[in-house]
Amino acid sequence: MAGRLYSPLTFSEILYECMIPINAGIKKLALYEFCYAVENLYPRDGWESIKPDDQGEIERLIRQRAFYEGIQVKPCANDRIILDDSITRLTRILFTGLVRGEYSQEWVNKLFYFDIRGFYFLPRTIYFTENGKAHFGGKPFRSFEPRQKQFEEVQDIGYREFQEANLEIDQAFTEMLQILIESRGTPILISLAGPTASGKTEIVERLIKEYAQDGKKVATIEMDNFLYDREIRGSKALGKETTHFMLFKDSLQDILQGRKIIIPRYDSATASSSHGLDGKLKPGCLPLEIEPAEIILLEGNFPFQMSEVADLIAYKIVYLTDDPVRLKRKWKRDIDYRKNYDPAHFRNRFFKTQFLRAEDCYRSQIEKCDIVVDTTAAALWVTSEVSDILLDAL
């Protein structure tokens, strides 16, 4: 087999067949289209120069925080942003190991998923730890048909089809939350956390419409509006050191007391806050004004990790969608429509941040929250306390 690697075409032909069980969407590509994409990763000294690493070494590598911290988001060559060398090396190694038969498709598929549009491998992020599952009694409260399976062969996903796939679980979640609100009473503060493109912003919009139809007044607070300027935050993890925390805490207390709040406004385009480090409004900037409401929805990725505000939140929710689906959503949303990123920058950034966000935010939040809406597995996880309220209502 090793001798056959000297031919780029032969290598691509073998790889094409190896990749179909890993990503069924590959079979929608003509072989020549697949070869075009493989050519972009062709090593300077040929495929025979790539020596597959020991499987144990690869498994150790992708579990190390330092590996992801070392990924460059905007490495350049010839005045162009390129894929980070570590990401390129990993994909080349996995390709070569598959072609040589040194890696099984089952092993690769267990640890990685392959994004056709980006044409690279990404490690599968673990969100539900054993502690997380134990927090919810070891099994989901309700399960549904996992309709996101229809996305396995596509390269990108629009919101309408994403919404349709989640229709059943979203409806069940909305009805469940209504029961919990009625049981707890208002005013009530509910937080929703979730990775980018998981659908949390859209589900918040749906909840607002549902409650408005019932005559309830709803307010939304985006946690990002309390961020410091990016140049001040630097590479620090999101938390009290990177936010207008006292303003945040005081604002939550005030709105729960029925008072209008005036909060900072964060501009994602300039990565700057309307407020300075002293908590005062900068000249020429406008804050946000939020009227009191019966239901306050707090959208953000880390608020209930802060003990000082945790008790103010009645229900803490993580809205989760698996990385391969989110990445396909982001291709459509951020590259095709928003045109936010250079494609290489986009690929590097997504690869780098998923492990770090899971480790810094989501795993610990899942172990503490009241509800997880897992749209990919189509499962609702709730704590025993929430389960008791729901079962009593039924």
Residue by residue, DSSP assigns 199-250 as SHHHHHHHHHHHHHHTT--EEEEEGGGGBPPHHHHTTPPSSGGGB-HHHHHH
Q: Report d(CA 108, CA 23) in Å as an integer.
A: 11
Q: Which of 65, 91, 123 is the last residue of a domain?
A: 123
DSSP letter, residue 75: -
Domain assignment of residue 147, yes or no: yes
Contact 222, 300 (CB under 8 A): yes
Same domain, 147 and 192: yes
**Looking at the DSSP assignment, which residues form a beta bridge with residue 77?**
80
Same domain, 318 and 186: yes
Same domain, 119 and 158: no
Same domain, 349 and 297: yes
- The segments of the chain whose pLDDT lies below 70 read 1-6, 302-305
Length reported for the chain? 394
Stated pTM of the model:
0.93
Nearest to 95 by CA among 154, 28, 26, 151: 26
Domain assignment of residue 256, yes or no: no
The DSSP line for 306-345 is: -HHHHTT-SEEEEEE--HHHHHHHHIIIIIIIS--S-HHH
288 C-beta neighbours (distance < 10 Å), count: 15
Same domain, 311 and 384: yes
Same domain, 119 and 136: no
Same domain, 53 and 188: no
- pLDDT tens digits for range 280-331: 999 999 999 999 999 999 998 765 567 888 889 999 999 999 999 999 999 9
Domain assignment of residue 190, yes or no: yes
Write 104-108 long-range contacts (CB < 8 A, 24+). Answer: 105/18, 105/21, 105/22, 107/55, 108/22
Contact 91, 120 (CB under 8 A): yes
Which residue segment(s) compose the domain that 73 sits in?
2-123
Same domain, 117 and 147: no
Give residue 1's pLDDT.
47
Angle of helix 85-100 versus helix 343-357 axis, rounded to 10: 90
Same domain, 68 and 176: no
Same domain, 157 and 20: no
Q: Which of 65, 96, 123 is the last residue of a domain?
A: 123
Domain assignment of residue 349, yes or no: yes
Give residue 305's pLDDT.
61
Element (H, E) at 296: strand 295-299
Domain assignment of residue 262, yes or no: no
SS3 178: helix
* Number of domains forming the structure of the chain: 2
Domain assignment of residue 24, yes or no: yes
Domain assignment of residue 384, yes or no: yes
Give residue 310's pLDDT.
87
Domain assignment of residue 138, yes or no: yes
CATH number at residue 206: 3.40.50
Same domain, 108 and 20: yes
Same domain, 18 and 117: yes
Contact 382, 136 (CB under 8 A): yes
Q: Which of 68, 93, 123 is the last residue of a domain?
A: 123
